[in-house]
Structure 1
Amino acid sequence: MIDRPQPDEYSEDYTSYVKLVPEGDIVTILKEQIKDTVSLLSSFSEAESEYRYAPDKWSIKEMIGHMIDNERIMGYRLLCIARGETASLPSYHDEEYVREADFDSQTLKDLLDHLTSIRQSTVYLVNSLSEEALKRRGAANHSEITARAIVTILAGHEIHHCNILKERYLNV
């Protein structure tokens, strides 16, 4: 089982994500949460998935696309840091990525399949890493971070966006 990261293993910017993740085996959490997320998102029709709760906010499809991009980028950071990369990994601008991706032109099914497959890839990567690799430190987004912190942040990021979906899109 992968231990929870300590506060000195990630930037303060990620604290809110880490706090959202329940105690337990992070790999199990990653596997279970994707099922719950896809189940929630599958309840929307194609038309409903283009809904925005405000004109300048992402559609549901764009939110899914952002989650895909984030998982892919954080997965790359995880791989690099676990393998001992010493170069600082760049940040990314999520608003620009979403704007350029045209996620609304993709089907909801394709986006959910993509989200599921990228999560499966992340789980395979995490399962392949040694305890030593998970504790490695590197630099990403102008801050020091450990590989295991990235894994927890990934889970927290998904919880964060599901909470937004429920609160602002579904008014739950």
Structure 2
Amino acid sequence: MRIIPPPQPGEYPPYTIMYIKLLPTDGLILKHLQDNFDMVKQLVYSLPEDVLYHRYAPGKWSIKETLVHVIDDERIFAYRALRFARNEKNNLIGFDQDSYALYSEADSRSLDNIFEEYEAVRRATIALFNGLPDNAFDRMGHGTGTANDATVRALAYHIAGHELHHINIIKEKYLQAGV
């Protein structure tokens, strides 16, 4: 699988380091994306049904809502990567993750349906990054203001690290609490 070296400081918004630091630096980000998907699917399918609806605090997302949030975020950041790779010069607008979670109605979806979408998005993401020309990975794009500028490479790492961030929250807040 393709090697995509990790982004360097200045290639991503400062907050993104919390995601990037969760990943190995071997450049095998596309393999990690596939392996992470497999790990997430195995973990979530091992949980009792009632745990999928649990919220560890008022206003927090259920596990199903968290999964759909990860899918939404991946879809949005892969789209950003496509735009930046194609040298789009227009800034992108952000998105309201809480509104997306609310209107996803994830808790009414079956787990099979959620993972069907998750897998389709993941395959598309891997195919996108695998098919980009080498010089596209260094292109910088503009998000909502210059504080959100990122390279295409950084967006690949954002997607993978963001997923791990939420899986770590699930493990710490949902599974360690004896739910």
State the AA in 2 paired with 1:121. Answer: A
Query: Alignment identity in percent?
Result: 38
Equivalent of 1:34 in 31, 37, 49: 37
User: Where does residue 7 of structure 2 map in the other structure?
Assistant: 5
State the AA in 2 paired with 1:163. Answer: N
Deviations 1:65-96 (A, max 9, x none): 10010011001101100111100111111011
TM-score, L = length of structure 1: 0.96
CA contact (8 A) 2:93 2:143 kept: yes
Q: State the alpha-carbon separation in 2 of the partners of residues 145 and 125 from structure 1.
A: 17
CA contact (8 A) 1:46 1:107 kept: no
Q: State the alpha-carbon separation in 2 of the partners of residues 99 and 115 from structure 1.
A: 18
> Runs ≥4 in structure 1, deviation > 6 angstroms?
none
Kindly state the Cα deviation for residue 127 of structure 1 after the two structures are TM-superposed.
Answer: 0.4
Equivalent of 2:107 in 95, 104, 124: 104
User: Where does residue 88 of structure 1 map in the other structure?
Assistant: 91
Equivalent of 1:66 in 69, 73, 88: 69
Kindly state the Cα deviation for residue 8 of structure 1 after the two structures are TM-superposed.
Answer: 0.6
**Corresponding position: 1:113 with 2:116:** yes
TM-score, L = length of structure 2: 0.92
Name the SS of the counterpart of 1:3 in structure 2: coil
User: Where does residue 54 of structure 1 map in the other structure?
Assistant: 57
Q: State the alpha-carbon separation in 1 of the partners of residues 61 and 53 from structure 2.
A: 9
CA contact (8 A) 1:88 1:139 kept: yes
CA contact (8 A) 1:46 1:108 kept: no
The count of aligned residue pairs is 172
Equivalent of 1:44 in 42, 47, 52: 47
State the AA in 1 paired with 2:153. Answer: R
CA RMSD in angstroms, aligned pairs only? 1.2
State the AA in 1 paired with 2:46. Answer: S
Farther-moved stretch of structure 1 (135-144 vs 81-90) = 135-144
Q: State the alpha-carbon separation in 2 of the partners of residues 13 and 141 from structure 1.
A: 14
CA contact (8 A) 1:17 1:160 kept: yes
User: Where does residue 167 of structure 1 map in the other structure?
Assistant: 172
User: Where does residue 125 of structure 1 map in the other structure?
Assistant: 128
Equivalent of 1:14 in 4, 13, 16: 16
Kindly state the Cα deviation for residue 48 of structure 1 after the two structures are TM-superposed.
Answer: 2.5
State the AA in 2 paired with 1:116. Answer: E
Kindly state the Cα deviation for residue 31 of structure 1 after the two structures are TM-superposed.
Answer: 1.1
CA contact (8 A) 1:134 1:148 kept: yes
What residue ranges of structure 2 are gaps of 5+ in the alignment? none
Equivalent of 1:150 in 140, 155, 176: 155
CA contact (8 A) 1:91 1:141 kept: yes
